[in-house]
Structures are given as structure tokens and as C-alpha cells.
Structure 1
Amino acid sequence: MAYAAATTNATNTITAAAADSNATVAIKVGNVDVVSGAAATWAEGENTVTITVTNGSETKTYTVTVTKS
């Protein structure tokens, strides 16, 4: 699944949570790991955020293109 969002320097916190408490969530901005609820460093223009949710043997990956203006 792919999504898009926009940001500025004032909005740099990424939060992702799974609906199932047994699942784990991994967040990357480009190739940099980011902890859910922590600040991300945005480059000018488009940034690719990958959110991977794993629950047992199932894994789903979501991609968000965040554009910093």
C-alpha cells in the first residue's frame, strides 16, 4: 500500500502502531531506522517512509512518500 503526506521542519515526529498488540512495527526513513514516536530527519523534496508490520508469520509493508517543502 502506498500513501503520500507533506511536512515542514516543525512536524518531524513519526508514530505508527499496529491494531494488534502482538504485532511489531518497524519504521525507516530512507535507510535510517526510526523509533515510533521519535523525530525523523527530512531531506528537502520527497522522502520514502517504509513501515513494516509483523504479526507472527505475516508481514505487511506500507510505503509513505513524505514531501518536505
Structure 2
Amino acid sequence: MSKTDWRKGPFDVELYPEGERYIVRLRKGYIIEKMRFINRRCASDYVKALKKRSLVRKELRLDC
């Protein structure tokens, strides 16, 4: 995780495709960070890690 200073949770997570990559969008209040992953599996693993750390308040799912 790159910027861990503000990631103290809870925040909303959104996973969606963008071109050939997958984006995980983290939103906590007015702070939004987008992280690009090379495939869906890597992005899903990242979201699972956030859930294990109890940082996810709401997961917004889009049909991919």
C-alpha cells in the first residue's frame, strides 16, 4: 500500500475495468485515490486485503 497515512478506515471501495486494466477506487470523505492493477485478480486480492484489515465500510460493485 503506497499512501498509508490517511488509510485508517473505514472507506468505500469500488472495483471496475478501465481499458485493459482494473481500477480500485478508494473514497474516504472527500479524499479519493485510484489504483491501477494489471488484472482483475490482483485488484480483487487488494480489496480482500483491505477487508481483512477492516478498512472497508462499503464495497460498491459494478458488473464487469
Q: TM-score range by the shorter chain?
A: 0.3 to 0.5
* Higher relative helix content: 2
TM-score (norm 1): 0.40
TM-score (norm 2): 0.42
* Higher relative strand content: 1
